[in-house]
Chains A and B, each alone.
Chain A
Amino acid sequence: MTTHMDISQYRISQEQFYQAQGNEVALYEAAYAARLPVMLKGPTGCGKSRFVEHMAWKLGKPLITVACNEDMTASDLVGRYLLDANGTHWIDGPLTIAARHGAICYLDEIVEARQDTTVVIHPLTDYRRTLPLDKKGELVQAHPDFQLVISYNPGYQSLMKDLKQSTKQRFAAMEFGYAPAEIEAGIVARETGIEAPLAQSLVKVGLAARNLKGHGLDEGISTRLLVYAATLIKGGIPPRDACRMAMVRPITDDADIRDTLDNAIDSVFA
């Protein structure tokens, strides 16, 4: 019944650059060796997804990424029956595919999904490593290579959006942050090919914004935005304009903060 599934499309063919900040690569490898589910915590744009891609490439496993959202139901993860001319047929959801074929399943921004959806991952994340498909009446035994990874941004933690304790306590967690200034400058330079001093200047602006977190900014300027700005500069845009466009305007509508950050840009770029 199951349609033929080509898992190789989920393999990562090229190495994704990832600059380790500590021993996170070794930690992840140890967790994978034991097939422990892993939770990646950290602010937006600090490199969580990049890290998973890098590790999947390193371990040579396929990676199935699901971006979670509020409207997602359990069947969007597990799979559902579809109608066709001959009647109905079952189609696996991403989680089931990963469990059957031995991929790393990465649930990005898991808190965005409703809590009743997230509980379907529970049986896969403990010693059982099974996924019951109620509607189909099947119990999927997870492939030995299967691993579940979730990401979670504690920054916009609100009462409404938090993980249940019963979910949290099924994971080994790794905390990510923005890299220290020199390393972050190195990342920006490496990703985009701009000069190191320019990358350092971009990082300085980013730091100014991160200092304002909690004072009108929910989140500082992420490494991802620094890379965007650097990309624009590489494309011939003057640095100040690039910073305003890629780093300041996206993160705030507050006139005072915008003004302060614009001034930071003017101060950093002579």
Chain B
Amino acid sequence: MSEPIDYRKILDCKFARVQSVFDDCLAYALRRLSAAGVLAYVEGARDIGKMGRGEEPVLMFLEAMPRLARRVGEDIIPRIVEFTRQLGRTPNAKAIAPFLQSLEAAARALESREMVEEYLQLVWQTMQRTTPRVHGIDSMYASECLPEFLSSVPRLLAQLSLAGLKNWVDYGVKAYPNNPDRQRDYFLLQSADSRAVLQRERHGTLFADHERKLDLYLRGLWRSESVLLPYSLVFDELRKPVPYLDENGIHLPDVYDDTQNGVRGIDRYRALLAHLMAHQRWTQPLMADNFSPFQRISIETFEDARVEWLALREFPGLRRLWCALHPHPREIEYQEGISYIRHRLAMLSRALLDPEHGYANPAILKYAAQFNQLMATGNATTRDMADLGVQFISETRLRSDSSAEVYFDDTEVDYRDDNRLMWRFFEDGDEEVYETRPQKRQDDAGKEDEGLPPRLYPEWDYGTQNYRPDWVSVYEHLHPQGNAAYIEELLRKHSGLAKQLKRIIDLLKPQQKVRIRYQEEGAELDLDVAVRSLIDFRSGAQPDPRINMSHKHDGRSIAVSLLLDLSASLNDVPAGAEQSKLELSREAVSLLGWAMEQMGDAFAIGGFHSDTRHEVRYLHLKGYQEHWGQEVMGRLAAMEAGYSTRMGAAIRHAGEHLSHQQADKKLLLVLTDGEPADIDVGDERLLIDDARMAVREMEQFGIYTYCINLDSGADAYVADIFGHHYTVIDNVQRLPERLPQLFMALTH
């Protein structure tokens, strides 16, 4: 045998902290890696130490590598060293330590050599894509957000698959190409967008996708209409919130992953709901002040078991599910100085739930038997559980129970709640009550908007081919009132046109008749059938006596929403005209509104303009149920133009209202004078593409969208958005005449 290798000599590293941990790390590596692997490991550490980046990278390398190598193969070690070296050759040396640190998390989340390789590629690409370029040369500057990204990786990988991580990065890279500060926030997981995208890419069973199923479950199996209130697990690192039940409803996590032993996320939700419902049905609250904390958790264990026992009587199938989720702690030797109280209670809980628990502990067996005996009498109450709990805790008490170090392994029953509804406290109300009414600042009071809270809509990003979730805020306001007489005056001015329209309307009024054939009694003879019957009669077969037909009117069922672009450009006076586009639109809309009232169709008018994505205003001019009258005319008279055109959000909002209308045909008319644009968007294609997506979404709702465009240069984009469903009105002066005609033609 050769003599033992002096690894410390190979390491050749004088950093004090490295020296102090090296022996432990080496011992760990020797246990897990082959001799060649350990050699590569130590040599790798040496190379990283010689890169001149201080002790930090070496420490992280020593820490993370054995586990990673063990998991995906030892040939990963030289690859990581090489990658680190490559990273050191770019201006991104600052990222080396975070990179090596992220490997710890990667070792946990990534399962194969290929996945680690993909991860390395992702890091490299992220670096390249977030490096600022000056005149196409990019090797001079450090990436703006690589260290930030790497520092978020542990959190991200805990929740995302590698593909999800890629999407998340992709979004961050593309969303903020010219805004490094925002990008940094994104990669640090500090911006709302970044959290929203993270939520969307999550693995596991999202509550949002299954809310209806869970509602149905509550209703069907438990006859409960409790409200389900999800909370997020993402941002509480230290203390994971536990599900609970209170007077507001059921609070539960927004996502559940499938468990190791194959319980699906949706079933975990159901297990949780079943447990909570059992509590709601059978638990009577107890005074908490009479019990010590240990007694309380013991009582809770018995009470959990009691309500589950009762639930199992109704739904025996739940036992399989609960047993699969309940930990099955092994019986272990208790050591001095560690509190095993949780372990003992988890064992007890298992024994109470699962008759095949297999424990030999006499106390557990005794209490399981007592519990079952008590339950079998059929009238055990929460009080009885309190007695059992107190007895159990005093009988099994150990000196070590109050030690600070608590044994936690395998003791958490995660489908159970925190039992807060079970306890009542005396202290409530003893404490001083503070007035929680916030003092409204004087200067804010005037600014307070009295409108509805904003509706959030997504926006389509053609770059990532994906929606930006909750991106645009739409505020709906009632349009201020103006002088209604003005509109009446306008209508009088167009009285000739109005007369013409009236004639068309009379022709259009519902009068299509539908023929109902095969009537034994009807308005007139259906000749075809009558002849056939006669032939039957002559040939000796039984004739069909239903030889008449009658008619019925076919009703017209249509709902229309007219969406007016009220952006600043409406104030322009087109060449060769005397009125601004706004005034012409007003005339046109007045005529159309009047005509619609004659037709009797459900008809709404709304205007929109936008001032960045945070404030898209939807101005309500006329609702579906409102009649064409003074109020509506007043609003029309007060119409003003300003700001920009964020069309997609406005279409989604108007479509949302329209989709709730009861009508066979739904028509969304968009009257605009230019392409979608907003001051916070530099890329003009973005909003055009978003509007196109919005139109497609409308199609899915069964809404037919049609655009009337006043921009003679509109051909460049309008077909992209609306397909063939548009008209460009070149001679804007004729708008008042054309708009109602167009509408009639569309709805005829």
A66 on the interface (CB 8 Å rule)? Answer: no
A82 on the interface (CB 8 Å rule)? Answer: yes
Of B33-41, B42-50, B89-97, B213-221, the one contacting chain A is B213-221
Residues of the A chain whose Cβ atoms lie less than 8 Å from the Cβ of B320: 266, 270
Interface residues of B in 363-394 (CB under 8 A from A): none
Query: Complex formed: what's the CA distance from A75 to B213 in Å?
Result: 49
Contact of B545 among A80, A85, A265 (CB under 8 A): A80
Do B543 and A212 touch across chains, with their CB atoms under 8 A apart?
A: no
Which of A85, A204, A266 has the most chain B CB within a 10 Å cutoff? Answer: A266
Contact of B543 among A83, A215, A270 (CB under 8 A): A83
Interface residues of A in 111-134 (CB under 8 A from B): none
Interface residues of B in 171-218 (CB under 8 A from A): 212-213, 215-217
Interface residues of B in 209-246 (CB under 8 A from A): 212-213, 215-217, 219-221, 223
Do B317 and A215 touch across chains, with their CB atoms under 8 A apart?
A: no
On whether A267 and B318 interact (CB within 8 A), knowing A259-B213, A260-B216, the answer reads: yes
On whether A256 and B540 interact (CB within 8 A), knowing A212-B219, A263-B270, A268-B316, the answer reads: no
A209 on the interface (CB 8 Å rule)? Answer: yes
Residues of the B chain whose Cβ atoms lie less than 8 Å from the Cβ of A263: 217, 221, 267, 270
B576 to chain A, nearest CB (A): 55
Do A73 and B520 touch across chains, with their CB atoms under 8 A apart?
A: yes
Residues of the A chain whose Cβ atoms lie less than 8 Å from the Cβ of B318: 267
Residues of the B chain whose Cβ atoms lie less than 8 Å from the Cβ of A204: 314-315
Interface residues of A in 232-270 (CB under 8 A from B): 256-257, 259-261, 263-270
Do B314 and A260 touch across chains, with their CB atoms under 8 A apart?
A: no
A69 on the interface (CB 8 Å rule)? Answer: no
Do A208 and B213 touch across chains, with their CB atoms under 8 A apart?
A: no
A211 on the interface (CB 8 Å rule)? Answer: yes
Residues of the B chain whose Cβ atoms lie less than 8 Å from the Cβ of A60: none
B334 on the interface (CB 8 Å rule)? Answer: no
Residues 516-560 of chain B: 1 if any A CB is under 8 Å from the residue's CB, otherwise 0? 000010000000000000000100111101100000000000000
Residues of the A chain whose Cβ atoms lie less than 8 Å from the Cβ of B543: 83
A155 on the interface (CB 8 Å rule)? Answer: no
Residues of the A chain whose Cβ atoms lie less than 8 Å from the Cβ of B220: 208-209, 211-212, 260-261, 264
A216 on the interface (CB 8 Å rule)? Answer: yes
Interface residues of B in 489-537 (CB under 8 A from A): 520, 537
Do A208 and B537 touch across chains, with their CB atoms under 8 A apart?
A: no
Do B545 and A75 touch across chains, with their CB atoms under 8 A apart?
A: yes
Residues of the A chain whose Cβ atoms lie less than 8 Å from the Cβ of B267: 263
Q: Give the residue name and chain of the B residue nearest to A135 (CB).
A: B545
Contact of B316 among A212, A260, A269 (CB under 8 A): A269
A: number of interface residues (CB 8 Å): 27
Do A267 and B221 touch across chains, with their CB atoms under 8 A apart?
A: yes
Query: Complex formed: what's the CA distance from A266 to B270 in Å?
Result: 12
Main secondary structure of the interface of B (DSSP, over half): helix
B466 to chain A, nearest CB (A): 25
B319 on the interface (CB 8 Å rule)? Answer: yes
Interface residues of A in 197-234 (CB under 8 A from B): 204, 208-209, 211-212, 215-216
Do B219 and A256 touch across chains, with their CB atoms under 8 A apart?
A: no
Do B216 and A257 touch across chains, with their CB atoms under 8 A apart?
A: yes
Q: Give the residue name and chain of the B residue nearest to A116 (CB).
A: B521
Do B542 and A83 touch across chains, with their CB atoms under 8 A apart?
A: yes
B441 to chain A, nearest CB (A): 46
Q: Give the residue name and chain of the A residue nearest to B224 (CB).
A: A211
Main secondary structure of the interface of A (DSSP, over half): helix
Residues 55-93 of chain A: 1 if any B CB is under 8 Å from the residue's CB, otherwise 0? 000000000000000000111000010110100000000
Query: Complex formed: what's the CA distance from A208 to B540 in Å?
Result: 57
Contact of A82 among B270, B274, B542, B546 (CB under 8 A): B542
Contact of A215 among B219, B270, B274, B546 (CB under 8 A): B219
Contact of B317 among A212, A216, A266 (CB under 8 A): A266
Residues of the A chain whose Cβ atoms lie less than 8 Å from the Cβ of B223: 211
On whether A270 and B520 interact (CB within 8 A), knowing A83-B537, A264-B220, the answer reads: no
Query: Complex formed: what's the CA distance from A260 to B218 in Å?
Result: 9
Query: Complex formed: what's the CA distance from A241 to B653 in Å?
Result: 46
Do A256 and B542 touch across chains, with their CB atoms under 8 A apart?
A: no
Do A256 and B213 touch across chains, with their CB atoms under 8 A apart?
A: yes
Contact of A83 among B216, B221, B520, B540 (CB under 8 A): B540
Residues of the A chain whose Cβ atoms lie less than 8 Å from the Cβ of B540: 83, 85
Residues of the A chain whose Cβ atoms lie less than 8 Å from the Cβ of B216: 212, 215-216, 256-257, 260
Do A270 and B319 touch across chains, with their CB atoms under 8 A apart?
A: yes
B205 to chain A, nearest CB (A): 12
Query: Complex formed: what's the CA distance from A264 to B314 in Å?
Result: 11
Do A208 and B316 touch across chains, with their CB atoms under 8 A apart?
A: no
Interface residues of B in 314-352 (CB under 8 A from A): 314-321
Do B317 and A270 touch across chains, with their CB atoms under 8 A apart?
A: yes
Query: Complex formed: what's the CA distance from A267 to B274 in Å?
Result: 10
Residues of the B chain whose Cβ atoms lie less than 8 Å from the Cβ of A80: 545
Residues of the A chain whose Cβ atoms lie less than 8 Å from the Cβ of B212: 256
Which of A204, A209, A257, A263 has the most chain B CB within a 10 Å cutoff? Answer: A263
Residues of the A chain whose Cβ atoms lie less than 8 Å from the Cβ of B217: 260, 263
Query: Complex formed: what's the CA distance from A139 to B320 in Å?
Result: 70
On whether A264 and B545 interact (CB within 8 A), knowing A216-B216, A270-B316, the answer reads: no
Query: Complex formed: what's the CA distance from A270 to B317 in Å?
Result: 4
Residues of the A chain whose Cβ atoms lie less than 8 Å from the Cβ of B221: 208, 211, 260, 263-264, 267
Residues of the A chain whose Cβ atoms lie less than 8 Å from the Cβ of B545: 75, 80
Query: Complex formed: what's the CA distance from A73 to B321 in Å?
Result: 56
B222 to chain A, nearest CB (A): 8
Interface residues of A in 154-213 (CB under 8 A from B): 204, 208-209, 211-212
Contact of B520 among A75, A259, A269 (CB under 8 A): A75
Query: Complex formed: what's the CA distance from A85 to B320 in Å?
Result: 73
Interface residues of B in 277-323 (CB under 8 A from A): 314-321
Q: Give the residue name and chain of the A residue nearest to B222 (CB).
A: A211
Query: Complex formed: what's the CA distance from A264 to B267 in Å?
Result: 11
B676 to chain A, nearest CB (A): 37
Residues of the B chain whose Cβ atoms lie less than 8 Å from the Cβ of A73: 520, 546
A89 to chain B, nearest CB (A): 12
Query: Complex formed: what's the CA distance from A70 to B321 in Å?
Result: 48
B652 to chain A, nearest CB (A): 25
Residues of the B chain whose Cβ atoms lie less than 8 Å from the Cβ of A74: 520
Query: Complex formed: what's the CA distance from A216 to B215 in Å?
Result: 11
Query: Complex formed: what's the CA distance from A256 to B223 in Å?
Result: 17
Query: Complex formed: what's the CA distance from A231 to B267 in Å?
Result: 30
Residues 106-126 of chain B: 1 if any A CB is under 8 Å from the residue's CB, otherwise 0? 000000000000000000000
Query: Complex formed: what's the CA distance from A212 to B266 in Å?
Result: 19
B743 to chain A, nearest CB (A): 30
25 sampled A-B residue pairs with Cβ under 8 A = A73-B520, A75-B545, A83-B537, A83-B543, A204-B315, A208-B220, A211-B221, A212-B216, A215-B216, A259-B213, A259-B266, A260-B216, A261-B220, A263-B217, A263-B221, A263-B267, A264-B221, A265-B317, A266-B317, A266-B320, A267-B221, A267-B274, A267-B321, A268-B317, A269-B316
- Contacts from A to B (Cβ < 8 Å): 73-75, 80, 82-83, 85, 204, 208-209, 211-212, 215-216, 256-257, 259-261, 263-270
Q: Which 9 A-B pairs have the closest CB atoms?
A: A270-B316, A267-B315, A267-B317, A208-B220, A260-B216, A256-B213, A266-B317, A212-B220, A211-B220
Q: A215-B216, A256-B213, A260-B220 are in contact. List 15 more A-B contacts (CB 8 A).
A: A74-B520, A82-B542, A83-B542, A204-B315, A208-B220, A211-B221, A212-B216, A212-B220, A257-B216, A264-B221, A266-B317, A266-B320, A267-B274, A268-B317, A269-B316
